[in-house]
Amino acid sequence: MMHCLAIRHVAFEDLGTFGPVLQETGFTIGYAQAGVDRLSPGEWDAADLVVVLGGPIGVNDQALYPFLAEEIALINARLAQGKPLLGICLGAQMIAAALGARVYPGRAKEIGWGDVVLTEAGHISALSVLEGAPVLHWHGDTFDLPQGATLLASTSVAPHQAFSLGKNVLALQFHPEADAARMDEWLVGHACELAYAGVDPRVIRADAEKHGAAAARGATAMLRTWLRDAGLMS
């Protein structure tokens, strides 16, 4: 069996809707809690797939959270090996940083359910199934497109929403893995951020109920396509 190592920064931002797809594909799943579990190079090397998940801290908070520097170093090593790597939100920002791109505060927080606009390359990528499909946005930082990367999706708030590097690396600023059925875990976990940003959790909850099924279908199809492209399933 293949093994997926998922790096988690807060408990409720896990693999979500991606978990069942990976298990059905034949993956075992192991979680490592950033800042708590020791992230060994051997474990990263042995994993068939590494997924670096989101969280409320930022790439530029390394002085406050030194483990971020360790994660970026491990990401850099995996990139050098050309092994499959998927980054979501903070994970995408760390991939961008490992590739030498600038990560910085966006011009506005982007929180809530909405679309992404696919680029020409995005239309022929695994993200093509997300055309017109809702996804969850939840970030304040953004990044420049790394050298050699292919831009796949944008929004008006964050022009760099997703990029790929070859067939084995995918970085997503948005959250296709978010399980709408568990939306209140996100709303409670990020209650202070929502209040500070002036975002009404009732709107996000209502949109999750409205868009959850379509979002899950899109996320499932996207992940399956990317796994095939990366040679992780037939």
* Nearest one of 6, 50, 43 to 230, comparing CA atoms: 50
Set 13, 71, 110, 177: catalytic member: 177
Q: What one-character-per-residue DSSP string does 106-151 give? A: EEEEEEEEE--EE-HHHHTSGGGGGTT--EEEEEEEEEPPPTT-EE
Rounded (to 5) percent helix, strand, coil in the chain? 40, 25, 35
Q: Which two tokens stand for residue 7?
A: 């790096």
How far is the C-alpha of 196 from the C-alpha of 40, rounded, in Å?
A: 36
Whole-number Cα distances in Å, 219 to 19, 81, 116, 138, 176: 11, 27, 13, 16, 5
Q: Mark whether 123 is an active-site residue.
A: no
Do residues 74 and 37 lie in contact, with contact meaning Cβ atoms separated by under 8 Å?
no
Q: Which two tokens stand for residue 41?
A: 């190079």
The pairing of strands 162-165 and 169-172 is antiparallel
Cα torsion angle, 55, 56, 61, 64, sign:
negative
Set 89, 139, 160, 190: catalytic member: 89
Do residues 211 and 137 lie in contact, with contact meaning Cβ atoms separated by under 8 Å?
no
Set 137, 139, 160, 175: catalytic member: 175
Q: Mark whether 4 is an active-site residue.
A: no
Q: Mark whether 70 is an active-site residue.
A: no
Residue with tokens 């796949």: 152
Q: Which residues are catalytic?
A: 89, 175, 177
